[in-house]
Structure 1
Amino acid sequence: MTALPRRPILDWPSFVGTRSAGMPSVADLPHKRMTTSGRAAIFQALRLAGLAPGTPVLVPTYHCPTMVAPAVLAGLRPVFYALDGNGLPVLDTIPAGLAREAGAILVPHLFGIVRSLAEVRQWCDRTDTLLIEDCAHAYYGMAGERPVGHWGDYATASLSKFLPVPEGGLLASAHRPVPPLGLHAQSPVAQLKGLFDVLHFATDHGCLKGLRTLVGTTVRWRRHASAAASSTLPRSVGQTGTSTSTEADMSRHAAAPLAVTRALHGVLPRRQIVDARRANYLALAAGLDSGACARPLFPSLGAGAAPYAFPYWVSDADRVYAELRDAGAPVFRWDRIWPGTPVIPGDSAPDWHEHLIQVLCHQALRPDDITWTIATIRRIVNASADACHS
C-alpha cells in the first residue's frame, strides 16, 4: 500500500462547504500576523517580549525540537518543567526562584486535546511571566472556559498542520497588539515552487483530478532541467545525498509566508476540517485496543476539540513505530529529546517520549484509510502481545 499522507491535501472538495468551523479558531483573535511556521511564531513572540539575553524560558519536558529551538535562537535559556497526566504543567515543581526569574512559559495544547489553562494563567499573573499558548496542535477549539488562544499573552499556531499549505504559522493575541514583524518577502521562484508543491503533493495522492497530466509534465521537465544542471557542475559541488535541515530548522524565521498559503488560508471552508478530524479521532479510539500492551492515552474527545493526532501508548514502541512507518501508516513520534532535559519525579514526559505514538487524524484521511490504519496497528501491536503479557 502507498504510504498514507502525513498532512492535509488540497482537492476540489476542499473548496466546498461551510466557511465557519463551528468552533473558535486562533485565526479569530483580533491581533495577528502570519509567519512561515509555528516555530517562527514562537520566536517572534519571544522577540516581542523584549526579554534580556539569557533569561529563562520555561518549556515542557515532552516536546519536539521546534518548541525549544526558538528560545535558543532568541538568545534565551530554555528551562524545562514537568507535565501531569493530562499534559499540563506541574507548576508546584517549578522552584520559586526560577518562577520569579523566568520571562516566559510555553504551554502547548498537546495532540489538540484542548484544556483550560486557568491555573497556568493565574500562576503567570502572580509571577509576572509571559504566557505563550502553543496552539500548533489546536487551531480550533474551546479550551475550557475560553476559546483556544485566549489564555495566553500570545498564541502561536501552525497552519500546515491543519490546512493543505506548504508552510505557514500564526502569531496572535487576544489582548496585545502584534506590530508588523518586518518579515522579508520570498522570491518569485519560491512563490512558484510553493504553489507547485501544493499541486504536486495533491496529484501524487490522486487528488485534483484534471491537473495530473499538467503537473506530471512539469515534474518531468524539472527533473530533466535539474539533471542537466548537475551534469555541468564539478563533482564536489553536486548533491551529497544528505540534508543540513532538521526538524528544528529556524533558518526561515524572518521570511514572510508564501502567497499560496495566504490565499488558501483565506478561502478554504473550515467546517469539514473540524468534522473530519473529530470523526477520525473517534474512530481510532473505538477501534484500537486498550490493554497491557497498548492503550489510547485519551480515549474520549470533548465537544470543543478538533484534534491533531491520536496519542497511543505502546509498550514496545520502538519496534511498533518502525514497522508502522515501513507499512506507510500516518504516525510520528517525539523520541528526540533536547539535550539537557532533566528527569523530574512524577513527570509524564519520560514515559511519553518512550512509549507514545501519535496517529494522525487529519481531514485528508478517508474512512477507509482510518480502517486500514486501525487494522495495521492492531496487527503489529499484537505481534508482540505474548512478550508484553509475560
Structure 2
Amino acid sequence: MLDAPFTQPKSPVFGWASLGGATAHAPGVQQLPQRRLTTSGRAAILQALRQMKLPTGSAVLLPSYHCPTMVAPVLVAGLEPRYYGLDAQGLPLLPESPGAEVRAVLVPQLFGIARSLAPVRAWCDRHGVSLIEDCAHCLFGQAGERPVGAWGDWATASLTKFMPVPEAGLLASAAHSLQAWQPAGRGALAECKAALDTLELASRFRRLRGLNTVLNALFALKNRGRSVSAPRARTAPPAPSAEQLMRGCDMARVDSAPLRLSAALVELPQGRLLQRRQALFRRYGQGLQGLQGARPLFADAGTPLAPYVFPLWVDEPEPVYRALHALNAPVFRWDQLWPGTPADLPGDQGPLWSRHVLQLLCHQDLDDAEVERLIALLRRLIQPPRENP
C-alpha cells in the first residue's frame, strides 16, 4: 500500500464538513480594515504593485527562495525583479543601501508560520520602500506585535490554499485605502461552470454524503465520450525557462473579477479549518520525530494557528522527492526558481531550501489514513530499515 499512488486532493474541497464548525475570530489578513477579493494571490500582488504607481525602471526586491508566482506579477507590471537572501528563520537579509531604484520589497510569511516583521518595517521606513507582506502561506496568525498582514503597506493572500473555493485571492491593507480598479466581468457561464466544477470535485472525493452517487452518475454522463488517459508515473520536470514559468503562472485572468461563488464560500465557518490544520501539523511532528536524515526546518516553531505546510529538511532529498513526486504525494518543494536568481548571496539559505526543504501539506480535507501513509513512506525513504547481517 505504501507504493500506491496518493489520491487525496492537493487543496481544500467543498463538502458538508465545510458548512460546520464554529466561526473563528482569528487574527489575519481577512480582518484588515481595507480588503478586496481578486482571482488569485498573484493577481493580488500585481494589484498591490499597481496601487504604488511606481515609475518606469523601478526595482522590486524578492526572496531568493520563491514560487514563480511571486516573480511573474513584477514582470507583468513592467518592473525589475531583484533578490535578497533569507536567514535561517526565513527572514530577509536586506541590503544596507538598496539604491534609489528599489521602490518595493515583497516579504513572504513562509509555511504558515507567522513571524514579526518589525526589522523589515523599520528598514522600509528608513529607505522609503513599500512593503508587500505576502501571506499566501499565512492567512491567519499573530506575527509578533501585529496580526499577520498588518506589517505591510499591502498584504496579499491566496485563499484557495485555505478555503474550498474554485479561485480567490485577497489584497488588503492596514495602512492605506485601496484605490478602485475595474476588473473584467465574468458572466453567468463562468459562474455556472465554477459551481458545477465545485460540485464535481466534491462528489468525486465523496464529500457530499447522500448526494455523491447521484452526482457522480450525472457527471459521468456529462463527461461521457471524453478520453481519459491512464494514470502515469509522475517524473520531475527539467528546469523550465522563464517563458515556461510565465505560462505556468497563468497571468491571463489577473484582471478578471472574482467569482461570486468564491465570494460566498470565503465566508464559510473557519473553526474546523484552524483545528484540523493544527492537528495535522502536530501529527507530522510526532510521526517524524527522531528520524535520522531529516528534521523539522524550525524546531521551535510550536504549532502555528493555521499552518499551510509542515516544512521538513531532508539531508539527501533527491531520491526521496522523486519517489514522492511519482506517487502524487501531498508534498512539494520550491525548486523552480526564476532564471537569474542568484545562488551566492552572503548567508542566504534560499538555494539550500529550494533543494532540501519538502513542504508537507496540512490542509483540512486531507484524510488521516493518507497522512499516516505519507509519514510511513517518508520514514522508509529517509531512514530505510537495516538489513540483518
| TM-score (normalised: structure 2) | 0.89
Q: Matched residue of 1:103: which SS?
A: strand
**2:309 is matched by which residue type in structure 1?**
A
Counterpart in the other structure of 2:381: 380
TM-fit CA distance, 1:372: 1.8
Counterpart in the other structure of 2:48: 45
**1:46 is matched by which residue type in structure 2?**
L
TM-fit CA distance, 1:4: 2.0
**1:212 is matched by which residue type in structure 2?**
N
Question: How many Å separate the matches in 1 of 2:385 and 2:316?
Answer: 8
Structure 1, 343-352 or 56-65: larger mean CA deviation: 343-352
Q: Matched residue of 1:341: which SS?
A: coil
TM-fit CA distance, 1:291: 5.3
Question: How many Å separate the matches in 2 of 1:286 and 1:188?
Answer: 47
Contact 1:293–1:385 at 8 Å: present in 2 too? no
> Kindly tell me: are residues 226 and 371 of structure 1, through their superposed partners in 2, closer, same or farther at Cα, counting changes over 3 Å?
closer
**1:7 is matched by which residue type in structure 2?**
S
- Per-residue deviation, residues 68-109 of structure 1 (Å, max 9, x unmatched): 110000000000000001111012xx251x343211100000
Counterpart in the other structure of 1:66: 69
- Per-residue deviation, residues 35-88 of structure 1 (Å, max 9, x unmatched): 000000000000110001221000000001001110000000000000001111
Contact 1:3–1:330 at 8 Å: present in 2 too? no
Question: How many Å separate the matches in 2 of 1:95 and 1:244?
Answer: 31
**1:363 is matched by which residue type in structure 2?**
Q
After superposition, where does 1:263-282 map in structure 2 within 5 Å?
A: 263-266=264-267, 268-282=268-282
Counterpart in the other structure of 1:361: 362
**1:221 is matched by which residue type in structure 2?**
L
Counterpart in the other structure of 1:17: 21
Question: How many Å separate the matches in 1 of 2:154 and 2:381?
Answer: 41
Question: How many Å separate the matches in 1 of 2:164 and 2:116?
Answer: 28
Question: How many Å separate the matches in 2 of 1:43 and 1:5?
Answer: 28
- Higher percent of residues as helix: 1
Question: How many Å separate the matches in 2 of 1:258 and 1:321?
Answer: 35
Give aligned-pair identity as a percent.
46
Contact 2:132–2:152 at 8 Å: present in 1 too? yes
**1:357 is matched by which residue type in structure 2?**
L
- Per-residue deviation, residues 288-331 of structure 1 (Å, max 9, x unmatched): 14555211102444465311001111123222112113334211
**1:294 is matched by which residue type in structure 2?**
A
Structure 1: where are the runs of 5+ without partners?
228-242
TM-fit CA distance, 1:282: 1.1
Specify which of 29, 33, 48 is matched with residue 32 of structure 2. Answer: 29
> Kindly tell me: are residues 385 and 88 of structure 1, through their superposed partners in 2, closer, same or farther at Cα, counting changes over 3 Å?
farther
Specify which of 71, 88, 91 is matched with residue 91 of structure 2. Answer: 88
Question: How many Å separate the matches in 1 of 2:199 and 2:246?
Answer: 23
Question: How many Å separate the matches in 2 of 1:85 and 1:37?
Answer: 29
TM-fit CA distance, 1:195: 1.3
Question: How many Å separate the matches in 2 of 1:310 and 1:247?
Answer: 25
Contact 1:289–1:378 at 8 Å: present in 2 too? no
Question: How many Å separate the matches in 2 of 1:254 and 1:281?
Answer: 35
Structure 1, 153-162 or 195-204: larger mean CA deviation: 195-204
Counterpart in the other structure of 2:109: 109
> Kindly tell me: are residues 330 and 385 of structure 1, through their superposed partners in 2, closer, same or farther at Cα, counting changes over 3 Å?
farther
CA RMSD after TM alignment: 2.1
Q: Matched residue of 2:373: which SS?
A: helix
Q: How many residues align?
A: 366
After superposition, where does 1:1-390 map in structure 2 within 5 Å?
A: 1=4, 2-21=6-25, 23-91=26-94, 94=95, 96=97, 98-224=98-224, 246-266=247-267, 268-290=268-290, 293-302=293-302, 305-343=305-343, 344-383=345-384
Q: Matched residue of 2:223: which SS?
A: helix
TM-fit CA distance, 1:379: 1.3
Structure 2: where are the runs of 5+ without partners?
228-243
Contact 2:57–2:101 at 8 Å: present in 1 too? no
| TM-score (normalised: structure 1) | 0.89
**2:259 is matched by which residue type in structure 1?**
L
